[in-house]
Amino acid sequence: MKQLFYFILLIAGFASVHSCKNLVDEEGNPLLDLNNTGGLTGPRALYKEITDKDTLAEYHYSGLLVNTVLMDSASITNIMYSGDKISQIAFNGFLDLDGNGKLDKDSVSFTRLLTYGNTGRLETISENRSIFRRPPPVPPATDPGPQTLLRKTKSLYNVRYSAATAKLDSIIMKTGPDIAGTPFAYDNFSRTAYTYSGDNVSKVIRHYGPMAGGVMGAVTTKYSYEYYAYDNEISPFTLLPLAYKISRLLNTDLNDKESLILSPNNPKRWSFTDLTPPIPNPIVKSTNYVYDPQTYMTKGYGVNYIYKPQ
Q: Which residues of the chain have pLDDT under 70?
A: 1-39
What is the pLDDT at residue 13? 40
Q: Which whole-number Å values give the CA distances from 123 to 253, 284, 294, in the listed order?
A: 20, 33, 34
Residue 219's contacts (CB-CB under 8 Å, 6 or more residues apart) are 207, 208, 209
Beta bridge partners of 44: 309
Side-chain-facing half-sphere of 127: CA atoms under 13 Å: 27
What is the pLDDT at residue 5? 45
What is the pLDDT at residue 24? 52
What is the pLDDT at residue 9? 47
Which pTM value belongs to this model?
0.87
Query: What does the angle CA 53 – CA 78 – CA 44 come to, to the nearest 5 degrees?
Result: 70
What is the rounded CA–CA span in Å between residue 310 and residue 83? 19
Residue 115 identity (one-letter amino acid): T
What is the pLDDT at residue 39? 66
What is the pLDDT at residue 280? 82
pLDDT, tens digit, for every residue of 210-258? 999 999 999 999 999 999 999 999 999 999 999 999 999 999 999 999 9
Tell me the torsion sign for CA atoms 207, 208, 209, 211: positive
